[in-house]
Amino acid sequence: MDSGAGTKPGRPRGFDAEAALERATRVFWEQGYDGASLADLTAAMGITRTSMYAAFGNKDELFRLALERYTQDGTEYAADALGRPTAREVAETFLHGAALASTRPGYPPGCLGVQGSLAAGPTARNARDALIAWRNEGVTHLRDRFQRAVDEGDLPATATPVDLARYVMTVANGIAVQAVSGASRAELERVATAAMKAWPL
């Protein structure tokens, strides 16, 4: 059994891995998987290639970890939205959250989950597939939440949760694309508001 001492043998890491991952996330967010070279990434992270490989594995793994981090740190609005009491509030919070998150000052416009790797050649297939799964998980979570709303009578029994979920996710994805296109926060909030006019209740 290893001792309870927190110190590990060997030379201690000379950089903050969490901070480095945050920098890498921004590079992927801004330039996409294909467009972010190891030179770009390590320069932004302030470490050498060898340190990156030792700490994170390889480029694919780094992207996977960046997405994981982004899920916790860049898209909290999603978890927030799912916890709202009514389906309408869920959709509202999700869409306005997407508008805010896609236009956060000091951060790249748009959404890593959309522009990180949308279309891709063979080398970026893993990243693309990871994002496809990520977006589809988002639809699933929304669908489950809306199904609950139907069960609870919060949504009319005629509502189809999966269609509502896909609609909300589609608008959120579109908001990310529009943010990259230069749309402002105010403009995208009006888009979110407009989208809510379609809400059944």
Partner DNA sequence: ATTATTCCGTACCGATCGGTACTTAAAGGC
Partner DNA sequence: GCCTTTAAGTACCGATCGGTACGGAATAAT
Binding site for a second copy (CB under 8 A): 29-32, 34-37, 40, 108, 110, 114-116, 118-124, 132, 135-136, 160, 163-164, 166-167, 169-178, 180-183, 187-188, 190-191, 194-198, 200
Stretch that binds DNA, among 58-66, 89-97, 106-114, 172-180 (CB under 7 A): 58-66
Residue closer to DNA by CB (options 36, 111) is 36
3-state DSSP: the chain helix, strand, coil percent, rounded to 5?
A: 70, 0, 30
CA atoms within 13 A on the CB side of 160: 4
* Matching residue, tokens 């921004």: 26
**What residues have CB less than 8 Å from 14, skipping those under 6 apart?**
51
Total residues binding DNA (CB under 7 A): 28
In the list DNA, a second copy, none, the entry touching 105 (Cβ below 5 to 8 angstroms by class) is none
Q: Is 49 in the site for DNA (CB under 7 A)?
A: yes
Tell me if 116 sits within 8 A of 131, measured CB to CB: yes
Tokens at 71, concatenated: 């899920």
Question: What angle (nearest 5°) sits at the alpha carbon of residue 85, between those of residues 81 and 87?
Answer: 70
Distance between CA atoms of residues 51 and 63, nearest Å: 16
Residue 47 or 114: the one with the smaller Cβ distance to a second copy is: 114
Binds DNA by CB under 7 A, chosen from 26, 59, 141, 145: 59
Among 4, 12, 153, 182, binds DNA (CB under 7 A): 12
43 or 54: whose CB is closer to a second copy? 43
Residues 15-34 that bind DNA (CB under 7 A): 15
